[in-house]
Amino acid sequence: MTDAAPTLADPSTPFAVLDIEKARRNAQRLTARLAGQGVLLRPHVKTAKSVPVARLMLDGATGPITVSTLHEAEAFADAGYHDILYAVGIDPHKLPRVVELARRGVVMQVLLDTLAQARAVTEASTRAGVTIPALIEVDCDGHRGGVDADGAALLEIGAELARGGDLGGVLTHAGESYFAATPEARRDAAHHERDVAVHAADRLRAAGHDVATVSFGSTPTAHAADDLSGVTEVRAGNYVFFDLVMAGIGVCDVDDIALSVVVTIIGRTPSGDLMTDGGWMALSRDRGTAVQERDQGYGLVADLDGRMREGLLVTGVSQEHGIIGARDGAEVPDLPVGARLRILPNHACATASQHDGYHVIEGGTDVEGAIAVGDHWERLRGW
């Protein structure tokens, strides 16, 4: 350990670690994939909720971005981001905050899929004298919300927005692609998502409307898309961290996962498993891999230097306790009290949300083999 910088052995556990070498590589992979496809990348900041991570995703640029809360929108506007899409169906009660952002000069787009929301947005923007571009959410796989691309609601909402508001375009989200476990299935999902989005845009255009934005995205379909004709922008967020769910369907390798949680051994269970101070408060309750071919428990286990401890996984958690057990005949190593391990998450969005920031590392070890921790990057929280 050098005197210069703390290492992963120093901060009080549990804490979240972000390997920015991996995050940068993950970001570049999607940027490279989309280069030449004629689309804008509008990364979703909801996974990392961190301005420095967003900078890394956009190679230093301050936008465009997608957000999941108005709190993110406000914080990123404060940090100089001025092209923001709030990609959760707008609650009319939140419109005064949207208006306020628009007044500050932010191009603040909202999402909706009902006539009631379209009327509320039109009324609020007209009254305030600001422009609030609205995207119409179009369902492509029955996963969540959105109107039918072939239904009447699409055109009714489009007409309402064109009359008094600002019809920005259409948006799709292929939520079911998180369960698409083969490259072919994800490519099919991407093609279908694109076709639905473009079809909805074409119907609106045929009805006489301008449709500037055709917004497409999810980490699996963004990485699978090989023809984005008609799409204008791609949203994805998880890809910068990745996680065991994404590794489980083959979108990344376990080695690509940039987020982990450092925990300390505090004893053994009566049955001989390891007890740690990393419970669900540190790892989250997310069990995304439970429905996958290989259930990874509450996370896989690595040493402090990132090398995987094959056969070990977090088999149970309570609030501030984690239990590490073995499978496939592996043995539970006899690690002493005080030893530290890193846990790789099922779902990076959920695990990251349990922490107020990231201890940042950048690969390499110091002379004594310890990994130096650099900055602490803060995370946003709340709504």
The residue ranges that bind a second copy (CB under 8 A) are 12-15, 46, 68-70, 88-94, 97, 112-114, 116-117, 120, 139, 142, 144-146, 148, 175, 264, 266-271, 275, 277, 280-282, 284-287, 318-321, 323, 336-338, 349-350, 353-354, 356, 381-383
| Shortest Å distance, C-beta 275 to a second copy | 5
In the block, which residue shows the tokens 């099919």?
Answer: 188
Are 346 and 358 a contacting pair, CB within 8 Å?
Answer: no
Nearer to a second copy, 88 or 181 (CB): 88
Nearer to a second copy, 253 or 356 (CB): 356
Nearer to a second copy, 24 or 143 (CB): 143
Amino acid at 176: E
| Shortest Å distance, C-beta 318 to a second copy | 7
Nearer to a second copy, 174 or 228 (CB): 174
- Residue 83: C-alpha distances to residues 67, 86, 218, 270 (Å): 11, 10, 19, 55
Counting Cα atoms < 13 Å in the Cβ hemisphere of 277 gives 13
Are 181 and 292 a contacting pair, CB within 8 Å?
Answer: yes
| Shortest Å distance, C-beta 226 to a second copy | 26
| Shortest Å distance, C-beta 70 to a second copy | 7
What are the two backbone dihedrals, phi and then psi, of residue 79, each rounded to the nearest 5 degrees? -90, 5
Beta bridge partners of 359: 17, 376
- Residue 71: C-alpha distances to residues 118, 178, 240, 246, 381 (Å): 22, 26, 21, 27, 8
| Shortest Å distance, C-beta 255 to a second copy | 25
| Shortest Å distance, C-beta 28 to a second copy | 25
In the block, which residue shows the tokens 């949207």?
Answer: 98
